[in-house]
Each structure stands twice: as structure tokens, then as C-alpha cells.
Structure 1
């Protein structure tokens, strides 16, 4: 791969700020506004190049969203609009060099995985010297001390918690597998994932590998027995992580959010509800209790704060609650039509990986999550109708066979 040129470094740094503004380590209150301003200043020359049609389409999306939220007694949060404006700038940066996005994003993901692995020697060298209640070394390397893997605390990189850090690690794995980068890169990508030690990233890894193998099997039948052996070998580990998660407070909270999803959509399937103020729907709030009782865990041992507060922590369920049963899946399906991911396999890996990640990671209100759906709506809205051709093609292929 060619070395990054100077202007590419600027774009990679912009992508870093976009990710950091969405799920980065919390430094101070109101920091989101600061990163928004920095992104605008860093790309000031592009502000004059934003196509008017993009601005008009985003304005229409904003008005429709405002009315949608108003219909269910909510307001469209200003920081969601801020995230969309960041997407508008990012799309403008790449609109004339679409292929450069994959190069830049894959480079950011690669560097992030190396930075993640650097946490290991840093902890071994400095954990007894520079370590405080913030679980950071030099305020450059961040850890979550609730669990350890081979003696190393869970690595959370520049994210505010390990499950959020899992997003960029999964992006790195997607590019490594899709581009067939070689055994060394694959091993390093998997090591970064293992030391993140997040159930979310382990489950997402299994999903991404499964999608990759599915497309590979269609080309090479000999992969089938290899995939079966690999699945059999990894199944106990993945199952163990999942069982451990479901016996923890955070795991049960994520499971209980599906109860909330069920109850909200049973009463208001089109509009959904408020995923970030659960107590506004008492039936949904009580469904958390039901989930805990069904699991056999005493609610008094868990409490209503933290994972069981006002906000849903399972963002897949939260997305469907916030946008309803029609718009929620529609937002996700737009990943399959983004102009920034050309290949079918890459699109499906991103869609499946994103769905797996957000089931345990709150990133569905960030710019990087909305980048792919909004890229379709702003740049190629005519692609929306092709979404409905997917199922028709599948059926016709089955009939042909």
C-alpha cells in the first residue's frame, strides 16, 4: 500500500476526531462542542465546497426527524444535529475521492490497533509507577480495571469504555480480512481484540469472521471443513464469554433492553419511544425488572443506577426504540448502499459488524455511525429504491436454483 501523503494525514486525523468526538475518553463537560469546532477549523476550506443539494437534503431530513420526534412528545437533541453536521463535512471531504475513504479509515483502524497493543508493554513497565483511580498511564493509555486477560486490564484505548473501543478494532479486522493482509496482520488484529477483553468485541469478531467465510466459501469450497473446525474450536471460548456476560450486571442490562424494545414496539411500533428516558414509559421500565427476575437475579443486588438508569445500554435495541420498526431497520440497511464501500462483501461485513457492535456499545448517536446511512441520503438518494430489490433478487435466485 502506498504511503500516506501529507493531505491524507490531515484526513486521517479528521477521521480520528470524528471517532473521538463520538466515543472518546471523557475529558471535560461540553467537549463535544470543542471537537466540533476543531473539525470545522481543520477543514475550513471544505466548508465552502459543501454542495447546496447536500445542505437541502440534510435540512429535509432534519425537519422530518424533528416532526417524527415531536409526534411522540420528544425533541430532536441538538448534539444529534451536531453529529449530522460533522457527517456533512466528512462527506464533502470525500465526495470527489470516494476510494480514499477506505484507505484513510483502514489506516486509522490499523494505527489504532497498534496503539491498543502498545498498552500491554506500557502496563507491564509502568503500572506500579503511574496508576491512579482513572486507570490511566500518563493519560495516554487507558484501561478498565474490572477484568483482566493474562494479567492485563481490559484495554479501552482512547474510548471511554472497552465496548466502544471494540468498534475501531472490528473495523480493523474487517479491512484486514477483506484485503487478505496476511497472517501477521490477522494475528495482530486478533491480539488487539483479545486484550480489549470485551464480550461485545468477541461476539462481533465471530460475526465478522462468519460473514467473511460465507463469501470465501462461495469462491473456495475447501474452506468449509476449515470453517467448521475453526467454529468448533472457538465455540467454547465464545460461549464462555457470553455466559459470563449474561451473569453480570452489564450483560443483563443489555438483555433487559430487548424486553424494553418488545414492550415499546408492542404499543407504538411506528414511532417507538424514548430510549434515553426509559421511565417515561413505565411499562418499558418495569420490563427491566421482569428481565432480571426471569434471569433469577434479585433486583436489589443490582440497583436502578448505572446500567439500570434512564438510558438503554443496548444500542441495537435503543436504535429500534428511538426510530421505530420501520426507520430503525431502514437506517441499518442503508449501509448496504453507501457509496464509500464499493464491494458487496465489505458492505455486508460493515453492516453485520456494526449490528453486532451496537448490541453492546452506545454509538448509534455518533457521527461515525451516521456517516454511512447519511452518505446514501445526501449523495445517492436514488439508491434507496434498490434496497427493496435485495429480497426480490434473493427469491429469484432461489427459484432459478
Structure 2
């Protein structure tokens, strides 16, 4: 059976962006493999476009020169590899950017069925799960199905699939729900996707699922059927959703919600302090104001029973991926990247682009996955295929 090169490439991008860490140097390996698989795209490029390449690369190298004052060259080389490999992959769509929607949908369909398998495993083989030594130490069943290591409630673990955290897995399931709404898929299928999202027990996932349900109501022509069903399901699930949200602000899982507010304060303070060049995100914990904000945030809420978690709370990395873009590139270039993300010709319509961005950006606020190939897919596609992009003459996106 012939493997679809573009679908395989999307899998590599997913694993580099938020996949479980199976071995040291996984990110380098995946990006090199992405480049090798798609290297033929460079050979097929018209020579007239290659003459424009220096102008395209200037944007990146100008930023690299600025950021080299903060980062070592290993990081610079890695980010260049991410930019370059992602750009070479995008050349698959230079003649028809609408193909990306179909490819992404096919890839997410695979993740959807894989996620359904996790639910069955959780019900039938929960006692057979073992803890692994992989990144974040997830539990697994025969090393094919992966769950968060902490039991969410008796008899059930949070589904995380091949992502290193359930919050990342829910993002791709919610994007699949959104794309299925725009493709006018059956309510039964949408319900199964919703079930997969619920099985992640992600607060962000629930919020984004709610937004997706509003999309379903807005774009569906069968509102008289959908509204009663949505109302009934919402009534049944409301206690579960409410309990999950409350635990973020009180109880055993309170520190998870506290970390979100902590990173919001830190991000705002650092952007205010260094709005143009940003900061070294890799060494963010060594910045004095960060230590101060973390300590003040912890002791303002935590009780004595939680003091043992202080060291972990202080040493924890920065989790707000949305603000991390501004910390990494500065306020101006950060806004420019988000603008390019929204204007991506990979989106079929403006309404779809808006919904896709809302779901992605809200998810980024809790997941540090904006220094990845998946994130840069969209702004890079604007630089390549936008109205004034490098390959704009070849692109035939539908931006209606």
C-alpha cells in the first residue's frame, strides 16, 4: 500500500509539535525526516522563484540576528531547520492550497478513530495499563494507546493519544470537530468526536467544544433538530464540566489553574518590560521578576498542605504558548506572526479562518506549542502563497 507523503508529513509535524517524547533529539530527527520526504519539492520549483528566495529568508535571518543576543546557536539552527522543513513541505500546495484542508481532514480522521480506540481500552483494559518511562511518564496499553498517568476519577484515565499532554490532544480533536461542521458531517459523527474531546477531561477542551457547538448551530440548516439534542446533552454533561472547572480553582488540582494565571501575569510583565526584542524563553526562570511573580502567586492562594509543591511550581516552565510568541519575537513581530496566521491561504473561507484561529489561539494559552512546525505552518504559508508571497502566482486559494 502506497503511503500518502503529505499525510505522513502531517504526522511528523504533529509529533514534532506536541508528540510524546520517545527519544532524545526527536525534534531534530522529525524535522530532518520531513525535509528528506519533501525534498523533491525544491527540484520542481521554477527557477524564477528561487531568485526571490533571499528576500524571503531575510525576514528570518533578521530575527535570528536579533535573537542570537539571547539564544545559543543550537536553538537558532534548530529553528532554522523547523522553518525550512516546514516551508519545503508547504510547497506541496503551491499549485492548489485547497488541498491542505483535505489532507488535514484525512489526518485528523485517523486521530479521531485512534482516539475512539482509547475510550474502548479505558473501559475494557483499564487494569492492564502500565506506567512508561517516556516523556511525562504516560500510562499505556501495549505501547499503542496512551493516557495521562494520573487517574482522573476512579476507573478512568485522561486520554492523551500520541500527544504529550491531553490538552494538546483536545486541540486537534476540536479542530476536527470544526472541520466536520464545515463539511456538514452527520450529527452522530459529531457526537462521537465530542465524546473523544470529553474523554481528555481538559478544561480548555470543554470550552472549545462549547464554541464548536455554537458553530454547529450557526452553520447548520437543521437547527430545529440540533437545538433539542444540544440542550439535552449539555444538561447531562454540565455537572462534569462544572466539576472540572471548579477543580482548577480549588481542591487537589488547584495548582493547575494557578499556573495558568501565573503565566498570564509573567507574560504581561515581560512584554511590558521588553516589548521590542522579547526575552530568552529557554531561561525564563532565571529572570528576577519571574521568580517574584511565581512566589507571590503561589503563597497568595496555596495552603500549608500544598507547600510541598512549591519547588515544582517555581521550577515549572512557561506554559502560555500564546504569549510566548511575543516573548520570543517581541510585540511587533509577534502580532505580525498572528496576522499572517489568520491570513493563511490554507483556510478555505474567512469564517473558517476565524473559527480555526479562535480555537487554536485559546488552546495556545495553556499549551506551549508555538515554537513548533504546526504553528509556523500558517504564517509561513502566507509568506509563501499570500497575495504578495513568494509563490503567489502559483497559489489558487479560495479566500471568500
What TM-score does the superposition give when structure 1 sets the normalisation length?
Answer: 0.83
Aligned to 2:246: 243
Question: By how many angstroms is 1:42 displaced?
Answer: 2.3
Question: Deviation string for 1:107-166 (max 9, x for gaps)?
Answer: 111110110110122234434345244511111111113133683311111111111212
Q: Does 1:196 align with 2:200?
A: yes
- 1:54–1:378 contact (8 Å) kept in structure 2: no
Q: 1:221 to 1:43 in 2, by over 3 A?
A: closer
Structure 1 residues 48 and 304 mapped into 2: Cα distance closer, same or farther (>3 Å)? farther
Please list, as runs of the form range in 1=range in 2, the aligned pairs for 1:110-125 lying within 5 A after superposition. 110-125=109-124
Confirm or deny that 1:327 pairs with 2:333: yes
1:399 aligned partner: none
Paired position in structure 1 for 2:23: 28
CA separation in 1, counterparts of 2:154 and 2:185? 27
After superposing the two structures, state which structure 1 stretch, 188-197 or 271-280, moved more. Answer: 271-280
CA separation of 1:57 and 1:12: change in aligned 2, threshold 3 A: farther
**Matched residue, 2:299:** 293
Alignment counterpart, residue 160 of structure 1, candidates 153, 157, 164:
164
Matches within 5 A, 1:200-279: 200-210=204-214, 213=217, 216=219, 233=235, 237-247=240-250, 248-279=254-285
Deviations 1:348-392 (A, max 9, x none): 111100111111112101101110111112222638xxxxxxxxx
Q: Deviations over 1:287-346 (max 9, x none)?
A: 1222223334567332233x5426201212322322333322332222321111121111
Tell me how far apart the structure 1 counterparts of residues 241 and 66 of structure 2 sit (CA, whole Å): 39
Q: Pick which of 310-319 and 46-55 moved more.
A: 46-55
Instruction: Specify the alignment match of 2:65 in structure 1.
Output: 67
1:228 Cα deviation from its structure 2 partner: 10
Tell me the number of residue pairs that the alignment of Structure 1 and Structure 2 aligns: 374
Structure 2-normalised TM-score?
0.83
Q: 2: CA distance between counterparts of 1:288 and 1:237? A: 30
Q: Deviations over 1:261-304 (max 9, x none)?
A: 12112222222323332233211221122222333456733223
- Aligned Cα root-mean-square deviation (Å): 3.0
Alignment of 1:34-73 (within 5 A): 34-50=29-45, 51-52=49-50, 55-70=53-68, 73=70
Unaligned runs of 5+ in 1: 384-401
Tell me if structure 2 keeps the 8 A contact 1:208–1:352: no
